[in-house]
Amino acid sequence: MALEREEKRNALDPTITLGIDAALNELEDDPHLACAIITGGERIFSAGADLSVGPGPPTERGGMVGLIHRRRTKPLIAAVEGLALGGGLELVLCCDLVVASANAQFGLPEPKRGLMADFGGVFRLSRMLPANIARELVLTGDNLDAVRAERLGFVNIITEPGGALDAALALADRICANAPIAVRESLAIVNEAIAGDETLSWQRSDQAHSRLTKTRDFAEGIRAFLEKRSPKWSGE
C-alpha cells in the first residue's frame, strides 16, 4: 500500500486513514495474502498528521490512521524513502520490519510545536531503540538518519535512494517462502514479548497529550510553525 499525497508530503488525512484501513483489512481477511508493505513512494514516507484537517476518526479495526491500534497477525514491512516524521514515524513503529534508503530520516518533532507524539511514538520508540537514543529523539525533536538507525538495529536493510521498495519486496518474498501459519504464530509470540500490554502506556500518553493541548506553549508552537518562525516559549 502506498501513501499518495506527495504534494502534501504524504500528510495523514482522512483519505489516507481510510485507505490504510481498507488495505490492512484486506490483508487480514484474504487467506491468500501473507505479508504487506507500506510505503510513501520514492521521495517521502510521511511528514506526519495533516495539521489542517487531522487524520480523521479512528477506524473500527485499526484505530488512529487505520493502523495505530490494530491487532495484526501478518507481517507488515515499512519501505521508507525521505522523511518519516511525527505520525509518519509512528506508522513505521507499527510495522514489523523496516527497509530504508540512505536518505531516510526518522523523527518526532512534536516538542518543537509544544506537543508530544500522541500516536504511541514516545513509548514505542523506547522499545525499538536504546534508552538514551529514544530519550534523545523525544526530548530534542531531532531526526535520526537511516545509517545511524540501521547501526542501532531499528532499520533492517538500508538501500541506495530509490531502492527501498524493491528491497522490501525482496524481503517479503523471503517471508512468503515460509509456511504462513508458522510465520503468523512466530510473529504473534515475538510481538507479544516486545509490546506486552500497552493499556497503561496509552492512558498516560493520552493524559499527557491532553494537558499539553491546554498550554500556551502549544498555541505558540502551532502559530510559530504556520508563520515559519522560531517559537517564543513561556513555560505555561
pLDDT at 82: 97
Residue-wise pLDDT tens digits, 192-236: 999 999 999 999 999 999 999 999 999 999 899 889 999 999 998
Residue 29 amino acid letter? D
Give 187: exposed, middle or buried? Use CB within 10 Å, 0-12, 13-18, 19+. Answer: middle
Confidence of residue 121 (pLDDT cuts 50, 70, 90): very high
Q: How many other β-carbons are positioned within 10 Å of the β-carbon of residue 204?
A: 12
141 in Cβ contact with 111 (< 8 Å): yes
Stretch 7-36: mean pLDDT? 96
Residue-wise pLDDT tens digits, 38-92: 999 889 999 999 988 899 999 999 999 999 999 999 999 999 999 999 999 999 9
Percent of the chain with pLDDT over 90: 93
pLDDT at 155: 98
pLDDT at 154: 98
pLDDT at 136: 97
The DSSP call for residue 58 is P
Percent of the chain with pLDDT over 70: 100
26 in Cβ contact with 61 (< 8 Å): no
pLDDT at 226: 86
Rounded to the nearest integer, the mean pLDDT of the chain is 95
Confidence of residue 108 (pLDDT cuts 50, 70, 90): very high
Which cell numbers in the block locate residue 119? 500516536
Stretch 122-147: mean pLDDT? 96
84 in Cβ contact with 10 (< 8 Å): no
pLDDT at 194: 93
pLDDT at 222: 87
The residues annotated as belonging to the active site are 90, 110
* All domains of the chain in start order, with CATH: 6-226 (3.90.226.10)
Between CA 61 and CA 66 the distance in angstroms is: 7
Q: What angle do CA 134, 19, 5 make, to 5 degrees?
A: 75
Q: Is the pLDDT of residue 141 over 90?
A: yes
Give phi and psi for 21, each to the nearest 5. -60, -45
Q: How many other β-carbons are positioned within 10 Å of the β-carbon of residue 190?
A: 11
pLDDT at 201: 94
CA 130 to chain centre: 18
pLDDT at 45: 97
- Residues 6 or more apart whose CB falls under 8 angstroms from that of 193 comprise none
Is the alpha carbon torsion for 148, 117, 49, 214 positive or negative? Answer: negative
